[in-house]
Amino acid sequence: MSDTNPTNIKIPSDLKKKLKKMAIDEETSLSGLILKMINESIESRENKSKNEFEKEE
Q: What is the pLDDT of residue 1?
A: 56
pLDDT in tens, 7-38: 999 999 999 999 999 999 999 999 999 999 99
Compute φ and ψ for 7, nearest 5 degrees. -135, 130
Q: What is the pLDDT of residue 48?
A: 86
* DSSP assigned state of 1: -
pLDDT grade for 50, boundaries at 50, 70 and 90: confident
For 3, the 3-state DSSP assignment is coil
Q: Which DSSP string corresponds to 5-55?
A: --------HHHHHHHHHHHHHTTS-HHHHHHHHHHHHHHHHHHHHHHHHHH
Q: Is the pTM of this model over 0.85?
A: no
